[in-house]
Structure 1
Amino acid sequence: MKLDYHMHFEKGSYDEDWAEGFFEAAKQRGLDEIGISEHSHTFPEFQELYYHDLILDDSFIGKFQQKWLKSNKFKYTLDDYFRFMEKLRKRHPNVRTGIEVCNFQQQDKVHDILKDYPFDYVIGSVHFLRGWAYDSSEIKAEWDRHPLEDIYEWYAEEVEKLAESGEYDVLGHPFNIRLFKYLPDFDVTPYLERVARAMAKAKMVVDINTGTYYRYPIQEISPYPDFLRMARKYDLPIITTSDAHKPEDCGAYNAEAVAYAKSFGYTELVHFEQRRRTFVKLE
């Protein structure tokens, strides 16, 4: 079965004709099923959490992130999202409704937001380190201000918090901290092990994500081989995803993601429905 469970409508709107492009791309690439995983910054229910966690002072990071929060954010409610997904389901009965939630520090408030909605799956992703949106090219210079060992420590800490909360089915794009080619010259095994151990305890799934291959300088599928090898050691299950932000990218490089997973001995994917998981053949 060919699946893609990580994509976003944020470059467009809740318009059925525009969204149809995702399904057309999925058909062209031979996908059997897709799931939409809107970013939590789409929804005003999460707005307070962003303003609590992000650096928003007069520094170059703060000024950029102030503008980022006011650009195309918080424009649909969760109720709007579910109503729109119901419309899409009339044309595409098997489409799944997911969400990608940032690594907020107040996980109790995340729980309160999510608990009343029937998601098929919930992705938790590390997008911020100490309030810094590290994957934003506009503030990439901040990377040069921190020892890379600190970045790996902070990343592992954030995954451990996500896992400990028990709120998430999937870890989005694991170890995408490599995205700008800041590569370690030290042994990262302890960090890889900490993340894998936390995920195993929380029964979280690995997101084999091609977004870092076609959207970032690193040009590699996440997670990179060292972590996927660790994931196999801990028997962590997988999904394959494109992290598409535009219709034409739905399913992008799915064949490459499948081949990559198979090279580490994976033969099955997780299929989600109403937070329940079954295993299907990886093909």
Structure 2
Amino acid sequence: MKLDYHQHLEYGSYELDYAQGFLETAKERGLVEIGFSEHTHTFVEFEHFYYDDLILDDSFIGSFQQKWLKKNKFKYTVDDYFAFMEACREHFPVKTGIEVCNFQDQQAVGELLGKYDFDYIIGSVHFLRGWAYDSSEIKAEWDRRDLRGIYEQYTEEAEALCAAGHYDMLGHPFNIRLYQYFPDFDVTPYLQRVVEAMRRADMVVDVNTGTLYRYPVKEISPYGDFMRLAHEAGLPVTINSDAHRPTDSGAYHDMAVEYVRDFGYTETVRFTKRKREIVPLS
């Protein structure tokens, strides 16, 4: 079954004409169902988490992130989102998801998420000690950091997300390869720690083509070493595009299916109201 649960409307608006582009592309690529998983920075309810957690001083990182928080952020309520998803469902099968950043106050995050009837919730590591490591505008910060320290911090943040118990999927695991900073040390212990944390939390792997077509690394996340461990541990997978533009809905889906088949996967997960249905990969 062709599904794609990781798509974003943030570059446009909650207007049907804009969303229709995602739906039409999904149809053309043979998807039978999609899910939007808006970033939490879309919603006013989550604004304070960002101001609590991000570096917002006058440093190189802080100066950029101050501007980032004021650009196209916190423009809707979660109720606005649910209402718009209902409108979209009149035109195509659409599930309502959300992608939540690795905020430090996970208890408060859980209380907020619990107020809404999502079909699935993605937890993603987007910040390392308040640094938005995937932002190209501050990519130079990578040259100032110890890569072993980045792997440790990423792993700790992923473990904390999993342990919080709020999430159905871990978004794009180990996308810290996105700018081609490859380690010269054995990262297997870090991969194993995240796989084990996901196993304990009964979470699904977001096999994400976004790093293939949006970032210099040009590979599907998670990369092969993680995928081997994930399959050995029995972690389920979903195949997702991380589309931020209508033309990217379902992007490289067939390639990603073949990718996970190489590791032994034959099934994927369909979500409805946080309940799972195991369906064949296609």
Normalization by structure 1: what TM-score? Answer: 0.99
Corresponding residue for 1:149? 148
Partner of 2:253: 254
Where structure 2 has 5 or more consecutive residues not aligned to the other structure, the ranges are none
Query: Percent of counterpart pairs with the same letter?
Result: 66
For residues 162-213 of structure 1, what are the alpha-carbon distances to aligned partners after superposition, in whole Å with 9 as ceiling and x for unaligned?
0110000000000000000000110001000000000000001000000000
**1:21 to 2:25 alignment:** no
Q: How far apart, CA to CA, are the structure 2 residues paired with 1:87 and 1:24?
A: 15
In 2, the alpha carbon distance for the partners of 1:197 and 1:145 equals 30
Residue 219 of structure 1 aligns with an amino acid whose one-letter code is K
- 1:6 alignment partner, SS class: strand
Residue 64 of structure 1 corresponds to 64
Counterpart for residue 281 of structure 2: 282
Aligned to 1:222: 221
Query: For residues 257 and 67 of structure 2, what CA distance do their matches in structure 1 show?
Result: 38
SS in 2 for 1:277: strand
Equivalent position of 1:110 in the other structure: 109
Aligned pairs for 1:93-172 (under 5 A) are: 94-172=93-171
Q: CA deviation at 1:91?
A: 2.0
Aligned to 1:244: 243
Matched residue, 1:209? 208
Residue 7 of structure 2 aligns to a residue whose secondary structure is coil
CA distance in 1, matches of 2:144, 2:17: 45
Aligned to 2:206, what secondary structure does the other structure show? Answer: strand
Provide the rounded CA distance (Å) in 1 between the counterparts of 2:82 and 2:250.
22
Q: How does 1:188-199 map to 2 (within 5 A)?
A: 188-199=187-198
Once residues 110 and 59 of structure 2 are traced to their aligned partners in structure 1, the CA distance between those partners, rounded to angstroms, is 31
Partner in structure 2 of residue 75 of structure 1:
75
2:8 corresponds in structure 1 to 8
Q: How far off is 1:89 after superposition?
A: 1.3
* Amino acid paired to 1:35: G
Q: TM-score, normalised by structure 2?
A: 0.99
Q: For the residues of structure 2 that align with 1:9 and 1:3, how far apart are their CA atoms?
A: 17
Give the aligned partner of residue 265 of structure 1. 264
Q: CA deviation at 1:42?
A: 0.1
Instruction: Give the SS at the match of 1:270.
Output: strand
Q: Tell me how far apart the structure 1 counterparts of residues 109 and 169 of structure 2 sit (CA, whole Å).
A: 15
Query: Given residue 244 of structure 2, which amino acid in structure 1 is its aligned partner?
Result: H
Shift of 1:145: 1.3
Q: How far off is 1:32 after superposition?
A: 1.1
- Cα distance in 1 for residues equivalent to 2:151 and 2:61: 20
Over the aligned positions, Cα root-mean-square deviation in angstroms equals 0.6
C-alpha distance in structure 2 between counterparts of 1:200 and 1:167, whole Å:
14
Runs of 4+ in 1 over 2 A off after TM superposition: none
Q: Distance in 2 between matches of 1:173 and 1:163?
A: 14
Amino acid at match of 2:21: G
